[in-house]
Every structure is written in structure tokens, then in C-alpha cells.
């Protein structure tokens, strides 16, 4: 009878061990990492990209800036900077700001020179330098035009005064 008890204890011990092993294996499989999930910053950038693609510039800018502000060390930061610059350069978005775009691309190249957006950012910078120079030239030209218009208006007033003086002199003679 002691053999039966010993055999029963062995079976109970083996079944407990088997139960522990199987529950341990299931716990291990639950905690083992699966495919990496997108970070919150990546989700914000993806939503901002979708908004920008659908012409929702202000909402896209807000999400890009939120990602940059709340997750400054996240791997999605270069994508957020690129998206920010892209929205600022797209006239269809209604947010055109070449200086802000240049700054976003500069920050991207300074902090992430080997990112997948670096080549495009350099091309954008070259284009933006030219656009900013033309924009500055247009501002100077408009200011010069205004000054010339004011000068012309002053000359017209002087001409009218001279005509009046000339008429007055003719009447006296």
C-alpha cells in the first residue's frame, strides 16, 4: 500500500509540476513582445500626414507641433519636422510661411542629418532660400513703388501749383 501512496504522490507531484510549467509557459508567451507598436508621436504624425494630404493644414500643423512639443526625443520627430515644413510650403494649405518652413527643415538637418528626409529637406532649403530672396526683393520693390507713387503725387501737386502761378502771370501781362 505504501507503493500505491508513493505512486499517487509522484503523480500528484508530476501533475502539479506540469500545471506550473504550463501556466509558466502561458505567462511567458503573454509577456513576450510582439511586433513593435507605433508610439503616440508616430500616431500623431500619421494623423497629421493624413490631414495634410486632405488639405487640412491648420489641423495638421497643430498635430505636428503637438508631437514635437510632447515627444521631443521620439523617433517620429524628423517626420514631424518634415511634415511641418511641407505644410508651410504648400500654398493650398493656406498656411504658407517660407521662413517657418526653412526653420523646420534646418532643425531637421541639424538634429537628424541622416534621416530619410534629409535629402528632401536640403532640396527644400535651397528652394526656400531662393523663394525668400525673391519675397524680400518683392517687399523692397513694393516699398520703392509706394515711394515713387507718393513722389509722383507730390510732383502733380507742384505741377498744378506751377500752372496756377503761370496763369496768374499771364493775366498780369
Predicted confidence (pLDDT) per residue in 49-75, tens digit: 999 999 999 999 999 999 999 999 999
Please state which of the ranges 1-5, 81-85, 95-99, 147-151 shows the lowest mean pLDDT: 1-5
User: How do residues 112-140 score in pLDDT, each as one tens digit?
Assistant: 999 999 999 999 999 999 988 888 888 89
What integer pLDDT is reported at residue 172 of this predicted model?
A: 82
| Region 40-135: CATH code | 1.25.40.10
Q: What is each CA distance from 23 to 26, 31, 153, in whole angstroms?
A: 5, 12, 93
Judge whether 56 and 94 are in contact, CB under 8 Å. Answer: no
Cα–Cα distance between 142 and 121 in angstroms, integer?
A: 31
pLDDT at 31: 46
Q: DSSP 3-state assignment of 129?
A: helix
Cα(89)–Cα(158) distance, integer angstroms? 47
Average pLDDT taken over every residue of the chain: 82
What percent of the chain lies above the pLDDT cut of 70? Answer: 79
| 69: nearest Cα among 89, 47, 40, 46 | 40
Q: pTM to 2 decimals?
A: 0.64
Q: What is the pLDDT of residues 31-49, one digit of tens each?
A: 444 445 679 999 999 999 9
Q: Which position has the higher pLDDT, 15 or 171?
A: 171
Q: Which three cell numbers stand for residue 158?
A: 507742384
Contact 48, 83 (CB under 8 A): yes
- List helix spans (H) across the chain: 2-31, 40-53, 57-70, 77-89, 98-111, 118-172
pLDDT given at position 12: 59
Residue 2 pLDDT exceeds 70: no
Where does residue 90 fall: left (phi above 0), alpha (psi -120 to 50 degrees), or beta otherwise?
beta
Amino acid at each position: 500500500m505504501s507503493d500505491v501512496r508513493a505512486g499517487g504522490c509522484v503523480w500528484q507531484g508530476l501533475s502539479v509540476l506540469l500545471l506550473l510549467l504550463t501556466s509558466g509557459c502561458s505567462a511567458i508567451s503573454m509577456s513576450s513582445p510582439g511586433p513593435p507598436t507605433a508610439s503616440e508621436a508616430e500616431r500623431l504624425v500619421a494623423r497629421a500626414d493624413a490631414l495634410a494630404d486632405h488639405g487640412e493644414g491648420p489641423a495638421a500643423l497643430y498635430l505636428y507641433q503637438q508631437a514635437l512639443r510632447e515627444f521631443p526625443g521620439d523617433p517620429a520627430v524628423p517626420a514631424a519636422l518634415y511634415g511641418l515644413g511641407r505644410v508651410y510650403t504648400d500654398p493650398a494649405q493656406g498656411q504658407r510661411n517660407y521662413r517657418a518652413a526653412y526653420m523646420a527643415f534646418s532643425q531637421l538637418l541639424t538634429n537628424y542629418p541622416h534621416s530619410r528626409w534629409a535629402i528632401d529637406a536640403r532640396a527644400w532649403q535651397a528652394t526656400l532660400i531662393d523663394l525668400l530672396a525673391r519675397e524680400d526683393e518683392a517687399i523692397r520693390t513694393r516699398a520703392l513703388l509706394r515711394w515713387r507713387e507718393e513722389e509722383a503725387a507730390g510732383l502733380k501737386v507742384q505741377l498744378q501749383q506751377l500752372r496756377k502761378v503761370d496763369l496768374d502771370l499771364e493775366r498780369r501781362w
